[in-house]
Structure 1
Amino acid sequence: MTFNEGMQIDSDRVSSGGGPGMGGGMALGGGALGLIALVVTLLLGGDPGSVLGQFTGADSQAEQGTAGTPEHCKTGADANKYVDCRVVLTVQSLDAVWDSELAKQTNRQYTEPAVRLFSGVINTGCGQASSAVGPFYCPADETAYFDTAFFQELKDRFGASGGPLAEEYVVAHEFGHHIQNLLGDLGRAQRDPRGAESGAVRTELQADCYAGVWAYYADKLPAPGTDQPFLKPLTDNDIRDGLSAASAVGDDRIQEASGSRVNPEAWTHGSSEERQKWFLAGYKTGQVKACDTYNARDLRNPPALTR
């Protein structure tokens, strides 16, 4: 996935910050297994409100984010080169797509979430978070948080391909939770928090589908004030990269990586296959209505892919 080089990065769209804190996963009380356990709960958008402080061990002096995108992020060419710039321009692309499509498809107005890049430790409306948490969306402050070092973790520890769309999928998934928040659906995860057919799994799969909706439009919809989309046309390899990331964070794959047996009763995000299929349901249709996981009878077979 390649951004058009001339796209301009909005230096005010994303803030950055976070203190050195504990960093990494060292204070989780279990090394790699502790990290995997936390990822199962929080990775890619699980509601962190009840667990962030419990697992991070962050002190109260965590540095807050400061305004401004990193100074080296100016254009699409920088986004193609640097991961932090890629996150910022992906955010701008997501804003453009959802500003255009949400009201058109749902009659709900889109409002932008805040976005913060951080490392180490940061205070959030859902508690204190460390880099060990991975990316997450906090509904209390309507903010998506990203430590860009996670993307290398996604490749090294969880086996994602490492291509650009694998990274953009993560950002788009967190924005999917913001869309759920705007539509009033995000709370369903907490009412039914665990199991293969649970509200939590349906919420995560829907966010995957919304990520696919973004991908459908990202290389077609012109960026505001231009006649070019943010992205050059997506290739089959790009889509494989996105699917690789979706597969890497399936509950079954994470359980296997931790040395545990696959136990669907403990799932919170869905299987690798389900996550891939719901991303594709959004990508192939570009329709919010194709992402109705809550009424799907069989999560392994999204209706949009079986018609």
Structure 2
Amino acid sequence: MRWRGRRGSGNIVDRRRSGGRRAAGGIGGLGLIVVLVLGWFFGIDVTPLLQAVGGGQSSAPRQEISAQDDQMAQFVSVTLADTEEVWTDIFERQLGRPYDEPELVLFSGTVRSACGGASAATGPFYCPADERAYLDTDFFYTLDRRLGASGDFAAAYVIAHEVAHHVQNELGILGEVNALRQRASPRESNALSVRIELQADCFSGIFARAAESRFGSLEPGDLDEAVNAARQIGDDMLQRQSGQVVQPHTFTHGTSEQRQRWFVRGYETGDLTQCDTFITNQL
């Protein structure tokens, strides 16, 4: 992905110097992977578990930000700027209305949002209450080294997916579905969550298509990186990686195959109406 030297976003809120610093020691290796995967899969804050097994987060602020962290922050800023241009154009052309850009909060260790407290262990998330996406850039290292999803466009896909939740919020989809989930059984709520996440994957594909056309920023192999990332974070894949038996009724994001397919659908069509995961029985 060609991103260096390009415009960054003015909607970045950098809280990395005020977050909790990772303490030395504590859980590591396979145990850490399992805990993190459980957090990402179930969408829960596993900070108490990390603290209980030794270490977790220190209350001391991080004193320094590495050059690698700064480079990733610049990458996030450029990618967010790309989403702003892409979705502003799509809202105008396909919907005839303005697009309200979200902010993206960079944090380190722990963070507070209008949706409550969170830690790096929860992975990237979007909070509709404050219309902000939250991201600890260390997630990209885990995505690459632990989950097998390498490449800068794999990271761009993650950012685009969280921004896609903001698009859903702007369209009123997120609020409507979350209201339904509050009245639904756990199984029904999970099924609705899957449809939300697959639609966000489809919207991410729309972004990828527009970014390729508008900025010429995609390089050979970039789309493969995004599709592989979608595959690696499918619910069935994450359950297998954490040593669990695959249980479809617990899925909240969709299978690897579904996530790949809906991303590709968005990329191939570039059409919001083709991403309606709520009117089909064939996810």
With normalisation by structure 2, the TM-score equals 0.83
In structure 1, the residue corresponding to 2:158 is in which secondary structure? helix
Letter in 1 for 2:192: G
The answer to whether the 8 Å contact 1:16/1:117 transfers is yes
Long gaps (5+) in structure 1? 43-47, 64-69, 73-77, 222-228, 300-307
Is residue 2:138 matched to residue 1:149? yes
Partner of residue 103, structure 1:
92
Letter in 2 for 1:183: L
In structure 1, the residue corresponding to 2:134 is in which secondary structure? strand
In 2, the alpha carbon distance for the partners of 1:267 and 1:242 equals: 21
Partner of residue 129, structure 1:
118
Is residue 2:198 matched to residue 1:205? yes
| Shift, 1:39, TM fit | 0.7
Partner of residue 168, structure 2:
180
1:90–1:123: structure 2 CA closer, same or farther, 3 Å change rule? same
Partner of residue 13, structure 2:
15
Q: Deviations over 1:245-264 (max 9, x none)?
A: 10110000000001111110
In 1, the alpha carbon distance for the partners of 2:60 and 2:98 equals: 34
Identity score, percent: 38
CA RMSD of aligned residues (A): 3.2
| Shift, 1:37, TM fit | 1.4
Letter in 1 for 2:217: K
Is residue 2:214 matched to residue 1:253? no
- The 5 A counterparts of 1:245-284 are 245-284=229-268
Q: Deviations over 1:172-212 (max 9, x none)?
A: 00001001111111131534564698110000000000100
In 2, the alpha carbon distance for the partners of 1:296 and 1:24 equals: 48
Q: Deviations over 1:51-97 (max 9, x none)?
A: 588768799x798xxxxxx9x8xxxxx99x92221111000000000
| Shift, 1:21, TM fit | 4.7
In structure 2, the residue corresponding to 1:259 is in which secondary structure? coil
Q: Figure out how many residues of one structure are paired with residues of the other and give that number.
A: 267
Bigger fraction of residues in helix: 2
Partner of residue 152, structure 2:
164
In 1, the alpha carbon distance for the partners of 2:141 and 2:266 equals: 26
1:24–1:266: structure 2 CA closer, same or farther, 3 Å change rule? farther
Is residue 2:75 matched to residue 1:86? yes
Letter in 2 for 1:298: Q
In 1, the alpha carbon distance for the partners of 2:211 and 2:148 equals: 25
In structure 2, the residue corresponding to 1:179 is in which secondary structure? helix
TM superposition outliers: structure 1 runs of 4+ over 6 Å: 52-59
The answer to whether the 8 Å contact 2:124/2:135 transfers is yes
| Shift, 1:244, TM fit | 0.8
Is residue 2:282 matched to residue 1:286? no
1:9–1:270: structure 2 CA closer, same or farther, 3 Å change rule? same
Long gaps (5+) in structure 2? none
Is residue 2:227 matched to residue 1:243? yes
| Shift, 1:167, TM fit | 0.2
1:279–1:55: structure 2 CA closer, same or farther, 3 Å change rule? farther
The answer to whether the 8 Å contact 1:108/1:183 transfers is no
| Shift, 1:35, TM fit | 1.8
The answer to whether the 8 Å contact 1:62/1:122 transfers is no
In 1, the alpha carbon distance for the partners of 2:7 and 2:74 equals: 11
1:55–1:175: structure 2 CA closer, same or farther, 3 Å change rule? farther
The answer to whether the 8 Å contact 1:23/1:121 transfers is no
